[in-house]
């Protein structure tokens, strides 16, 4: 018998023809899977549909849409042991890129049908699921600027335009970062905590090559002295991420931990998995090995920590409990 698969499809995601995209998905998957198609609406989100599919005890759950749709559906699958497939049709497609999954329909469908499963980590941010990353400060402001109208008009370039606009209003803030064994105090323009992140999420790429199944979160702190330094730091992150190398600038630091508690003065906007989440303070905990996903095999290597050189940096080593 065919495996029962629930396909959660967002018809308003991306810039293509949604009916044509759905027809292509059906043509590839239905010969192999008993496909139950569920469409998201303004009133019913991907997480609601995925939770209902979990209750129906389907064999496979597949989400198709932008990163927001994929993350919502994945949140409902966390901890269930149900294999999760993704078909990216959004603007940034960070979810697919972070895990090496093709961002075209045919390739993504073949990954689901023929690819192996990999159990990856997820995280919890202030009690809510986090699959990819949380951005504080610059990234959150940029995501808020890149609204649906901009994304429909410019596609992925909308984020670049929004980032350039946000640079004109760049502001630093005081930040305190607490881990299991240390407290770090500095100032920053951006702080990013990643469970998984593609190279295109440059503000998460302090260590480069973030590992999605190591039981740890990767934090990158960017603390440029001015706008010119911010541009240089961003370009450096882009270069090192593209080359797979860790950063080497004094105004960029990174470290890894199982959990982070982050407080800022003044409070800063936070974006989680591409959606505006609220403001600091936040507490993020890694949830190891909680999501089984269809994904091609990849190998990842990541440096552990770099904090020296950050401005006004103070590190307090806490006594272990």
pLDDT of residue 180: 92
Query: What pLDDT score was predicted for residue 240?
Result: 80
Per the structure block, which two tokens stand in for 45? 């989100």
Mean pLDDT of 131-135: 92
What value does the mean pLDDT take over residues 262-277?
91
CATH number of 128-287+297-317: 2.60.200.40
Does 14 score more than 90 pLDDT?
no
Q: Which two tokens stand for residue 146?
A: 């890149």
Residue position matching structure tokens 């549909």: 49
Query: What's the chain's average pLDDT?
Result: 85
Number of H helices, E strands in the chain: 9, 17
pLDDT digits (tens, 9 = 90+) for 188-229: 888 999 999 887 787 888 887 788 999 999 999 988 888 788
- Write down the pLDDT at residue 288: 97
Helix (H, G, I), strand (E, B) or coil at 66: coil
Distance, CA of 61 to CA of 49 (rounded, Å): 10
Inter-helix orientation angle 227-243/157-167, to 10°: 150
Domain ranges of the chain: 3-115, 128-287+297-317
Give me the pLDDT at residue 146, please: 52
pLDDT in tens, 98-124: 888 998 999 999 999 987 899 999 999
Q: What is the rounded average pLDDT of the residues 134-145?
A: 74
SS3 assignment, position 216: coil
Quote the CA–CA distance of 51 and 73 in Å, as a whole number: 8
pLDDT of residue 141: 65
Topology given in CATH for the domain delimited by 3-115: Rossmann fold (3.40.50)
Position 313 scores a pLDDT of 62
What b/e sequence results for 297-311 when a residue is b if at least 16 CB atoms lie within 10 Å of its CB, and e otherwise? eeeeebbebbeeebe
Kind and range of the H or E run holding 141:
helix 138-145
Report helix, strand and coil shares of the chain as percent, to nearest 5: 30, 35, 40
User: Pick the residue with more confidence: 62 or 187?
Assistant: 62
The two three-digit tokens of residue 85, written as one number = 């497939």
| Half-sphere CA count of 175, side-chain side, radius 13 A | 30
Percentage of the chain with pLDDT > 70? 83
Q: How far apart are CA 231 and CA 254, in angstroms?
A: 18
pLDDT, average across residues 30-54: 96
pLDDT of residue 201: 80
3-115 with 128-287+297-317: one CATH topology? no
Using the predicted structure, report yes or no on whether residue 70 has a pLDDT greater than 90.
yes
Residue 246: pLDDT above 90?
no
Choose the weakest-confidence range: 94-98, 124-128, 129-133, 294-298.
294-298
Residue, of 126 and 93, whose pLDDT is higher: 126
Diameter of the chain by CA atoms?
63
Q: Which residue has the higher pLDDT, 160 or 26?
A: 26
């Amino acid at each position: 018998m065919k495996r029962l698969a629930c396909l959660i499809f967002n018809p308003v995601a991306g810039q293509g023809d949604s009916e044509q995209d759905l027809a292509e998905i059906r043509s590839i998957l239905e010969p192999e899977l008993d496909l139950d198609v569920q469409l998201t609406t303004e009133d019913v989100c991907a997480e609601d549909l995925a939770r209902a599919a979990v209750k129906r005890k389907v064999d496979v759950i597949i989400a198709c849409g932008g990163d927001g749709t994929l993350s919502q559906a994945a949140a409902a699958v966390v901890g269930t042991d149900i294999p999760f497939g993704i078909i990216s049709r959004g603007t940034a497609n960070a979810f697919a890129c972070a895990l090496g999954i093709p961002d075209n329909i045919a390739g993504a469908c073949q990954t689901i049908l023929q690819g192996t499963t990999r159990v990856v980590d997820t995280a919890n941010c202030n009690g809510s699921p986090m699959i990819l990353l949380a951005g504080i400060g610059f990234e959150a402001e940029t995501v808020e600027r890149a609204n649906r109208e901009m994304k429909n008009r410019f596609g992925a370039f909308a984020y670049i335009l929004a980032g350039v606009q946000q640079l004109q209003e760049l502001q630093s803030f005081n930040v305190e970062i607490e881990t299991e064994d240390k407290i770090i105090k500095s100032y920053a323009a951006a702080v990013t905590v990643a469970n998984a992140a593609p190279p295109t999420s440059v503000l998460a790429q302090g260590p480069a090559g973030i590992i999605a199944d190591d039981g740890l979160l990767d934090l990158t702190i960017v603390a440029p002295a001015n706008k010119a330094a911010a541009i240089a730091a961003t370009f450096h992150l882009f270069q090192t991420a593209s080359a797979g190398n860790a950063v080497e600038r004094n105004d960029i630091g990174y470290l890894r931990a199982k959990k982070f508690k982050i407080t800022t003065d003044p409070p800063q906007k936070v974006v989680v998995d591409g959606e505006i989440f609220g403001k600091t303070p936040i507490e993020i905990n890694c949830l190891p090995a909680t999501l089984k996903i269809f994904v091609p095999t990849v190998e990842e290597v990541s440096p552990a920590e770099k904090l020296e050189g950050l401005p006004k940096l103070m590190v307090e080593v806490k006594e272990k409990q």
